[in-house]
A and B are shown apart, each in its own frame.
Chain A
Amino acid sequence: AGVTQSPTHLIKTRGQQVTLRCSPKSGHDTVSWYQQALGQGPEFLTYFQNEAQLDKSGLPSDRFSAERTGGSVSTLTIQRTQQEDSAVYLCASSLDAGHYGYTFGSGTRLTVV
């Protein structure tokens, strides 16, 4: 199996909290999260190697947080959602620092109303 993301779609009212989930491809040790606004390319949010969050430079604000427990599943949580958070959130996993490429999930489409 490849990268699995859930849920596929999500509609939230402004101010609510949302948690997105990602299961990486079997055997991959790194997980990355990207935000893709409508009509744009994906933008990097954060990256884990095993359980360690090595880079979170792309997180837009302190409302965004991510974790990876047990070295497998990763979650991305957005607190106090705002309309500008509406986007597709993509998860990618890789092996050996991306030397063999990155495998992407199908994404979670978040709509904040």
Chain B
Amino acid sequence: AQSVTQLDSQVPVFEEAPVELRCNYSSSVSVYLFWYVQYPNQGLQLLLKYLSGSTLVKGINGFEAEFNKSQTSFHLRKPSVHISDTAEYFCAVSVAGGGNKLTFGTGTQLKVEL
């Protein structure tokens, strides 16, 4: 079985500052990794995904994440945040190549302040 740990439940940051949201996973098989964003009262929107290949993945809205197999991590980063980035961010995994079950972390609330 797979599991995901998001260590930070809340991350406050000032506008235009860089941010990193941490995600660690556990799995005995190869996985796909995802970051989703959820705005209030909305569904989940895919930010980026890692399937294979380059360990640095670029997504929408200026976000990027790096897959580190040895540390079983997939941290999300943005060099300069905007007020509009305030939202809940979820890291998720699925079994590579055949899984249709996403296992989510508990989420990180990113709060961008002026």
Contact = CB atoms under 8 A, between A and B. Distances in A.
Contacts of B94: 98
Interface in A1-38: 3, 30, 32, 34
Interface residues of A, number: 29
B43 A105 contact: yes
A68 B41 CA distance: 26
B45 interface: yes
Given A98-B32, A101-B49, A42 B44 contact: yes
Interface centre among B43, B44, B92 (most CB of A within 10 A): B43
B45 A41 contact: no
Interface of B: 4, 32, 34, 36, 41-46, 49, 51, 90, 92, 94, 97-107
Interface of A: 3, 30, 32, 34, 39-44, 47, 49, 54-55, 57-58, 90, 92, 94, 97-99, 101-107
Closest 3 CB pairs of A and B: A41-B104, A104-B43, A104-B44
